[in-house]
Structure 1
Amino acid sequence: PALVILTSKLCGYGGKRAIIYGAIIELIHTATLLHDDVLDNAKLRRGRPSVNHLWGNEPCVLLGDFFYSKAVEIMGEDGDKELIKIVSGATVEVAKGEILEILKTGDLNLSEEEYFEIIGSKTAALFSASCEIGAVLAKKGKKTRDLMKEFGKNLGYAFQLTDDALDYLSTDMSLGKKIGTDLKEKKVTLPLIYALRMAKKEEREVITSIFKKSRISAEDFSKVKGIVESRGGFAYTYRIAAKFIDEAKRQLMKFPHSPYKINLTRLAETICERKS
Structure 2
Amino acid sequence: MGVVVTLEGERGQQRSALDQLAALVAADLGRVNETILRLMTSEVPLIPELAGHLIASGGKRLRPMLLLAAARLCGYRGERHIKLAACVEFIHTATLLHDDVVDASEMRRGQSTANMVWGNSASVLVGDFLFTRSFQLMVEDGSLAVLAILSNASRVIAEGEVMQLMTTADTSTSEDAYLKVIASKTAALFSAACRVGAVVAERPRVEEDALEAYGRNLGIAFQLVDDALDYAARQASLGKTIGDDFREGKMTLPVVLAFRRGTDEERAFWRRALEQGEQDDGALAHAMALLGKYNAIRDTVERARHYGAVARDALAIFPDSEMKQILSDTVEFVIERGY
TM range (shorter): over 0.9
Residue by residue over 1:125-169, the C-alpha shift from the partner in whole angstroms, topping out at 9 and shown as x without a partner, is 110000000110110121111111110000000000000000111
How far apart are 1:215 and its partner, in Å? Answer: 5.0
Q: What letter matches 2:291 in structure 1?
A: V
* CA-CA distance at 1:120 after TM superposition: 0.7
Determine the structure 2 residue equivalent to 1:250: 313
Quick one: which amino acid aligns to residue 49 of structure 1? Answer: S
Which residue of structure 2 lines up, in the alignment, with residue 186 of structure 1? 249
Is 1:164 paired with 2:227? yes
TM norm structure 2: 0.79
2:269 matches 1:206: yes
- Is 1:136 the equivalent of 2:199? yes
Partners of 2:140 and 2:201 lie apart in 1 by: 19
- Name the residue aligned to 1:13: 76
| Counterpart in the other structure of 1:127 | 190
Return the offset for 1:206.
Answer: 2.0
Distance across 2 between alignment mates of 1:247 and 1:218: 41
Aligned identity (percent) is 39
Contact 1:157 1:241 in 2 (8 A): yes
**1:29-48 residue CA offsets vs partner (Å, 9 max, x unmatched):** 00000000000111111001
Unaligned runs of 5+ in 2: 1-63
Q: 2:272 touches 2:278 (CA, 8 Å); kept in 1?
A: no
Q: Distance in 1 between matches of 2:77 and 2:103?
A: 39
Q: Which residue of 154, 166, 188 maps to 1:103?
A: 166
In structure 1, what is the Cα distance between the partners aligned to 2:113 and 2:164? 21
1:70 and 2:133 aligned: yes
The answer to whether the aligner puts 1:2 opposite 2:81 as a matched pair is no
Change (3 A) 1:201 1:214: closer
Deviation at 1:274, TM superposition (A): 1.2
CA distance in 1, matches of 2:121, 2:297: 36
The farther-off stretch of 208-217 and 123-132 is 208-217
Aligned equivalent of 2:13: none
* Aligned equivalent of 2:144: 81
1:201: how far off? 2.1
DSSP 3-state at the match of 1:177: coil
Give 1:260-271 correspondences, 5 Å limit. 260-271=323-334
Q: 1: distance between equivalents of 2:93 and 2:203? A: 28
Higher relative contact order (CA 8 A, sep 6+): 2
- Equivalent position of 2:259 in the other structure: 196
Letter in 1 for 2:219: G
Structure 1 counterpart of 2:287: 224
Moved more, 34-43 or 170-179: 170-179
CA distance in 1, matches of 2:308, 2:176: 19
Matched residues in 1 for 2:101 and 2:278: separation? Answer: 18
> Out of 134, 145, 151, which is 2:208 matched to?
145
Q: CA offsets per residue over residues 150-196 of structure 1, 9 Å max, x none?
A: 10000000000000000111122211122211111111011111111
Structure 2 distance, partners of 1:75, 1:105, is 33
Gaps of 5+ in 1: none
State the TM-score, normalized to the length of structure 1: 0.97
1:232 is displaced (CA, Å) by: 1.1
Measured on the aligned residues, the alpha-carbon RMSD in Å equals 1.1
Matched residues in 2 for 1:104 and 1:206: separation? 18
- The structural deviation recorded for 1:235 is 0.9
**Matches of 1:269 and 1:231, distance apart in 2:** 25
Q: Which moved more, 1:2-11 or 1:248-257?
A: 248-257
Q: Which moved more, 1:190-199 or 1:117-126?
A: 190-199
Q: Contact 1:24 / 1:75 at 8 angstroms: preserved in 2?
A: yes
Q: Tell me if structure 1 keeps the 8 A contact 2:249–2:275.
A: no
Give the alignment partner of residue 27 of structure 1, picking from 72, 85, 90. 90
Alpha-carbon distance in 2 for matches of 1:196, 1:117: 19
| CA distance in 2 between partners of 1:62 and 1:169 (Å) | 33
Q: Report the number of matched residues.
A: 276
